[in-house]
C-alpha cells in the first residue's frame, strides 16, 4: 500500500542548495513526499545573491516534463522559477494536457525577483505569468510579487497585503497565500485568501535570523506535499507553517555561506516531530487497485464480450452467476440502508437494492428463464465477504463501492463497443446508464465522507474491505470458461 505522494517540482537550480529545486526536494522529503525535479533554469548564486542565470531552450523543459509524466504518477505539482515566457507557456501547455487519474493539485510560487534583488524572470514574461495563474490551485507570491500581480505598490502593512491578495484571487480565480515575510515588525503572518476574503490566517513571530534564503520555495513545496497527504489546504498550510517555523528557528545551526543562509529543512524531523498521517481518499484507492482493473480489462471474457466472439454458453454461465450475485448483493445494500446514519443515505442504499432486484428480474430472468444455477465458489466467496462486512456502516459501504465503480467503469468501454449487428447488443446497451453513473458518483461521495471522518484504524479497515471487493470483482469476471487463467493466478498477477 503506497502512502507516499509523488511531488513534481518545476523550478530553477540554486547550486548553493538553499532555494530553487534543491530547497524543494529537501522540503518535499521533510514533509513526507517523494520529490522529482524538472529544471527550468540554472542560476549561479550563493548566499550573497545571483551572479548569472542560464535558461535552456523551452523544448528541453518539454522533454523533461514528458519523460516524467509518461512514467510516474504525479500527485501534486509545485512551480517555482520559470525564467522565460516560452518556459511559462510550455508549463501551461503541460498543465492543460489531459491525463488519466486524479488531477494533481498545483501550487505556483510566482518567482520574479530574489530577496537579494536579482531578477529571476525575464522582464517580458509578466503577461505570460498572468496567463498561468488560473491553472494553479494556490499561488504564493511574496509582498513585492503580489504588488506586481495587482499593479500596485508593495504593501507596507498586513491589511493592504490581504486586500491585494483578494484582488489577485478574484482576477485569476485562484487561492492566494499572502505572506508576511517582507513586512517590518515582530509578526510574520500568512493567510490563505480567496475572492471573498481570508479563509485561514496563521500568526507567527518573526524569528531573529538572517538565514531565510529559500523560505518561499520551501513553503510552497511543503504546501503541495502536505496537501497531497491531507487533501485539505487549511490543514496543509497549518502543518507547512509549523514545519517551516521549526526550520527557520534551527537555521543558525547550519554553517552555509557568509551571507543570507538557508533554513534547516530537516531540523523539525530530527527533533522528533511527527508528520500528520496521510488522509485517504477513494480516488487514491482507485489508483491503488489499477492493477486489478487492468487485469479485468485483459480478461478473455471481457474482451470477447466486447468483440462479440464470446461463446453463448459462457455468456449464460456468467448471467446465471450474476443473477445469483445480485439477489444477495441486494441484501447487503439493504443492510447498508439499515446502518446508514441519515435518511438521505438510507434512501440511497434502499433505492440501489430495489434497482438491483429489478435488474435481476428484467435482465436475467428474461434470458435465463426460471432456471437458477448453483452458486459457484467464486460467487459465494464474494457474497460472504459483503455479508461479513455488514457489521459496520463505513466498512460495508467501502466493500460495496467496487461493485458500483468497477461495473460502471468496465461498462463505459463495453457500451462503446456496441453496434447494431453486435450479438450481445441488447446486453451491452444496458451498460450505458446515466442513472447508474449518478448512483456510482453518490456511492463514491458517501465513502469519501466516511473516510474523511474515519480514524486511522477504521480507514485501514475500509481500505481492506474495498481492495478485497476489487479482487472479488476480478475473480467474478474471470470465472467463465472464456478465461484459461485460474482466478487465483489472475489475482496474483494483478497485485
Ligand atoms: N524571519 C522569519 N521568521 C518567521 N517566519 C518567516 C521569517 N521570514 C519569512 N518567514 C516565513 O517564510 C515564508 C516565506 O515568506 P516570505 O519571506 O514572505 O516569502 P519569499 O521567501 O517568497 O520572499 C512565510 O511563511 C513567512 O511567514
Ligand atoms: C533558483 C531559485 N529559485 C527561486 C529563488 C527565490 O527564492 P525564495 O524562496 O523566494 O526566497 P529568497 O531566497 O528570494 O528569499 C531563488 N533565489 N533561486
> What's the pLDDT score for residue 368?
64
Cell of 430: 444496458
How far apart are the C-alpha atoms of 205 and 477, rounded to whole Å? 60
How far apart are the C-alpha atoms of 65 and 72, rounded to whole Å? 11
Work out the average pLDDT over 205-226. 97
Residue 116 Cα: closest atom of ligand 2: 14
Q: What ipTM score was computed for the predicted complex, to two decimals?
A: 0.98
Q: Which of 15-24, 474-483, 484-493 has the lowest mean pLDDT?
A: 484-493
How far apart are the C-alpha atoms of 352 and 128, rounded to whole Å? 50
Residue 331, classified by CB atoms within 10 Å of its CB into exposed (0-12), middle (13-18) or buried (19+), is middle
Beta strand 76-79 with 6-13 is parallel
In contact, 197 and 175? CB cutoff 8 Å = no
In the chain, the domains with their CATH numbers are 6-270 (3.40.1190.20), 282-494 (1.20.910.10)
Query: Ligand 1 mean position to 97 CA, how many Å?
Result: 33
Instruction: Enumerate the active-site residues.
Output: 179, 212, 214-217
Q: How many degrees, rounded to 5, is the angle at CA 461 between CA 323 and CA 475? A: 35
Work out the average pLDDT over 475-481. 90
Residue 219 Cα: closest atom of ligand 2: 9
How far apart are the C-alpha atoms of 191 and 312, rounded to whole Å? 64
For 50, 142, 388, the CA distances from 157, given in Å and listed in that order, are 28, 13, 61
Please tell me whether the overall predicted TM-score, pTM, comes out greater than 0.90 for this model.
no
Sheet holding 34-46, edge to edge: 49-54, 34-46, 6-13, 76-79, 105-108, 138-139, 175-179, 190-194, 197-202
Question: Does the pLDDT value for residue 431 go beyond 70?
Answer: yes
Work out the average pLDDT over 328-353. 97
For 25, 159, 183, 302, 453, the CA distances from 110, given in Å and listed in that order, are 18, 21, 18, 48, 35
Query: Ligand 1 mean position to 5 CA, how many Å?
Result: 25
> What's the pLDDT score for residue 432?
79
First to last CA, the chain: 10
Beta strand 105-108 with 138-139 is parallel
- 143-170 tens-digit pLDDT: 999 999 999 999 999 999 999 999 999 9
> What's the pLDDT score for residue 359?
78
Regarding the beta carbon of 80 and ligand 2, being less than 6 Å apart is answered yes
Cell of 221: 513545496
Query: Ligand 2 mean position to 216 CA, how many Å?
Result: 7
Question: Cβ < 6 Å from ligand 1: which residues?
Answer: 115, 142, 179-182, 188, 190, 204, 206-207, 212, 215-216, 219, 241, 244, 248
Work out the average pLDDT over 469-477. 96
Residue 21 Cα: closest atom of ligand 2: 1
> What's the pLDDT score for residue 26?
98
Work out the average pLDDT over 286-315. 93
How far apart are the C-alpha atoms of 422 and 407, rounded to whole Å? 20
Residues 6+ apart with CB under 8 A from 68: 8, 36, 38, 74
Amino acid at each position: 500500500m503506497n502512502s507516499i505522494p509523488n511531488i513534481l517540482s518545476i523550478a530553477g537550480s540554486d547550486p548553493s542548495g538553499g532555494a530553487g529545486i534543491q530547497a524543494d526536494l529537501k522540503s518535499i522529503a521533510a514533509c513526507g513526499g517523494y520529490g522529482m525535479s524538472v529544471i527550468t533554469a540554472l542560476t549561479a548564486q550563493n548566499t550573497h545573491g545571483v551572479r548569472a542565470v542560464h535558461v535552456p531552450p523551452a523544448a528541453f523543459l518539454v522533454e523533461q516534463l514528458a519523460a516524467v509524466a509518461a512514467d510516474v504518477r504525479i500527485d501534486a505539482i509545485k512551480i517555482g522559477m520559470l525564467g522565460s515566457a516560452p518556459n511559462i507557456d510550455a508549463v501551461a501547455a503541460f498543465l492543460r494536457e489531459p491525463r488519466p487519474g486524479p488531477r494533481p493539485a498545483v501550487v505556483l510560487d510566482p518567482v520574479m525577483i530574489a530577496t537579494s534583488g536579482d531578477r529571476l524572470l525575464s522582464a517580458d514574461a509578466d503577461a505570460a505569468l498572468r496567463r498561468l495563474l488560473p491553472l494553479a490551485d494556490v499561488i504564493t507570491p511574496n509582498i513585492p510579487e503580489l504588488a506586481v500581480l495587482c499593479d500596485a505598490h508593495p504593501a507596507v502593512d498586513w491589511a493592504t497585503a490581504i486586500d491585494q491578495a483578494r484582488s489577485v484571487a478574484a482576477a485569476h480565480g485562484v487561492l492566494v497565500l499572502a505572506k508576511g515575510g517582507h513586512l517590518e515588525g515582530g509578526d510574520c503572518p500568512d493567510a490563505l485568501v480567496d475572492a471573498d476574503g481570508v479563509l485561514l490566517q496563521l500568526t507567527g513571530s518573526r524569528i531573529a535570523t538572517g538565514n531565510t534564503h529559500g523560505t518561499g520555495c520551501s513553503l510552497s513545496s511543503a504546501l503541495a506535499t502536505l496537501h497531497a497527504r491531507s487533501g485539505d489546504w487549511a490543514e496543509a498550510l497549518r502543518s507547512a507553517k509549523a514545519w517551516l517555523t521549526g526550520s527557520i528557528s534551527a537555521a543558525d545551526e547550519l554553517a552555509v555561506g557568509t551571507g543570507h543562509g538557508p533554513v534547516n529543512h530537516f531540523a523539525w524531523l530530527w527533533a522528533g516531530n511527527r508528520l500528520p498521517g496521510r488522509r485517504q481518499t477513494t480516488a487514491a484507492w482507485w489508483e491503488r487497485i489499477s492493477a486489478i482493473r487492468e487485469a479485468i480489462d485483459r480478461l478473455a471474457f471481457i474482451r470477447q464480450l466486447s468483440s462479440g466472439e464470446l461463446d453463448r454458453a459462457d455468456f449464460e454461465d456468467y448471467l446465471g452467476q450474476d443473477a445469483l450475485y445480485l439477489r444477495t448483493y441486494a441484501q447487503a445494500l439493504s443492510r447498508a440502508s439499515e446502518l446508514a446514519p441519515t435518511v438521505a443515505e438510507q434512501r440511497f442504499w434502499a433505492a440501489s437494492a430495489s434497482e438491483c432486484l429489478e435488474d435481476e428480474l428484467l435482465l436475467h430472468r428474461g434470458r435465463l428463464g426460471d432456471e437458477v444455477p448453483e452458486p459457484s465458489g467464486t460467487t459465494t466467496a464474494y457474497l460472504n465477504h459483503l455479508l461479513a462486512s455488514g457489521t459496520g456502516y463505513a466498512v460495508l459501504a467501502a466493500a460495496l463501492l467496487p461493485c458500483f465503480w468497477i461495473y460502471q467503469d468496465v461498462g463505459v468501454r463495453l457500451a462503446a463497443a456496441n453496434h447494431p449487428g453486435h450479438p450481445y447488443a441488447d446486453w451491452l446497451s444496458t451498460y450505458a446508464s446515466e442513472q447508474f453513473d449518478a448512483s456510482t458518483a453518490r456511492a463514491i461521495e458517501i465513502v469519501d465522507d466516511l473516510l474523511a471522518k474515519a480514524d486511522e484504524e477504521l480507514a485501514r479497515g475500509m481500505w481492506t474491505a474495498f481492495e478485497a471487493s476489487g479482487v472479488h470483482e476480478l475473480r467474478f469476471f474471470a470465472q467463465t470458461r472464456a478465461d484459461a487463467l485460474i482466478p487465483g493466478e489472475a489475482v496474483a498477477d494483478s497485485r
